[in-house]
Structure 1
Amino acid sequence: MKAFFVFVALFGGMLLGIQTPINGALGKRIGSIEGALVSFTIGMICLLFAVFFFGRGNLSQVTQVPKLWLVGGALGAVAVTCSILSVQRIGVTSVLTAAVLGQIMVGLIIDHFGLLGVAKVPVDSLRLLGVIVMMGGLFLVLKPNG
């Protein structure tokens, strides 16, 4: 079962790999922030249909959750805007590599301290080595771009 969710995460990452250049092209044509707005609006429409046809949750509970949990949409909007701003200047591979490295770095901190309600997973030398190797990978991916 764990392998299935690894595949699901891999597939989601692949979709982000396709979304990045599409959003970049949109942002180049209509503006970076405007492109992010269009992307999120279309995403919202898709999610409205998904909730209507497949949703099993309880949206009325949204007023009862900690306010910090509502920041995710804003963080996503900033992340997509950053991607749109960057992709035309450093390329898709560089943007995705930097974005994944950023996610792993913050994930390492969140895991180590058990922040945001996740189980503590201490940083060890192998995890640090993995981040250092990825930093080297980012350097190599960026090198052709100057």
Structure 2
Amino acid sequence: MGSIGVLGLAIIGGIAIVVQGQLMAVMTQALGPLESVFITYWGGAMAVGLMMAGARGGNLSAFTTVPWYTLGSGLAGLIIIGTIGYVVPRLGVAGGFTVIVATQFVAGVMIDHYGWLGAVVRPFDLPKLIGLGLMMIGVTLLVR
């Protein structure tokens, strides 16, 4: 996939995240946070199961070869989905995702800088500091 395709896919993913956030907010208010997370994961598991059934050449049996800590991604996903369902009704879609995404950038810079969780080391530098500072100004303007 070329650069344009990757950017297009990122845009689709970005739209899907905020749409899911609003859907989770509605579900969480009607059902409760744990119930909405369960339904979201159940629906996702069913969709992926169908995709895997239609695909050939998968390698699910190799899950024992990945580092043990990568299996925590499911727990991280539960935290993400639960947080979105709780935060969006209280801060709005834009406000909630502004804080979530800004936090992702800060955490991402730290993971890159220290090479945590198997990441390639990408040192923290002045342009990244300026970018994070400008982003925090934007967060303040969007969430106030």
Match of 1:96 in 2: 97
Matched to 2:67, the amino acid is P
Match of 1:46 in 2: 47
Structure 2 Cα separation of the partners of residues 130 and 28 of structure 1: 35
The size of the alignment, in residue pairs, is 143
Displacement after TM superposition at 1:111 (Å): 0.9
From the superposition, tell whether residues 92 and 3 of structure 1 become closer, same or farther in structure 2 (CA, over 3 Å).
Answer: same
TM-score (norm 2): 0.93
Matched to 1:61, the amino acid is A
Give the 3-state SS of the residue equivalent to 1:75 in structure 2: helix
Deviation larger for 115-124 or 65-74? 115-124
Matched to 1:40, the amino acid is Y
Displacement after TM superposition at 1:81 (Å): 0.3
Matched to 1:95, the amino acid is G
Match of 2:118 in 1: 117
Give the 3-state SS of the residue equivalent to 1:122 in structure 2: coil
For the Cα contact (< 8 Å) 2:33–2:86, is it kept in 1?
A: yes
Displacement after TM superposition at 1:55 (Å): 5.1
Structure 2 Cα separation of the partners of residues 124 and 33 of structure 1: 40
Q: For residues 23-34 of structure 1, what are the structure 2 equivalents within 5 Å?
A: 23-34=24-35
Q: For residues 102-141 of structure 1, what are the structure 2 equivalents within 5 Å?
A: 102-141=103-142
Answer yes or no: is 1:82 the counterpart of 2:83. Answer: yes
Match of 1:10 in 2: 11
Cα root mean square deviation, aligned: 1.3
For the Cα contact (< 8 Å) 2:98–2:143, is it kept in 1?
A: no
Match of 1:60 in 2: 61
Structure 1 Cα separation of the partners of residues 58 and 106 of structure 2: 32
Displacement after TM superposition at 1:101 (Å): 0.7
Matched to 1:72, the amino acid is S
From the superposition, tell whether residues 58 and 94 of structure 1 become closer, same or farther in structure 2 (CA, over 3 Å).
Answer: same
Displacement after TM superposition at 1:62 (Å): 1.2
Matched to 1:122, the amino acid is P
Structure 1 Cα separation of the partners of residues 38 and 121 of structure 2: 35
TM-score (norm 1): 0.92
Structure 2 Cα separation of the partners of residues 68 and 139 of structure 1: 34
Displacement after TM superposition at 1:102 (Å): 1.2
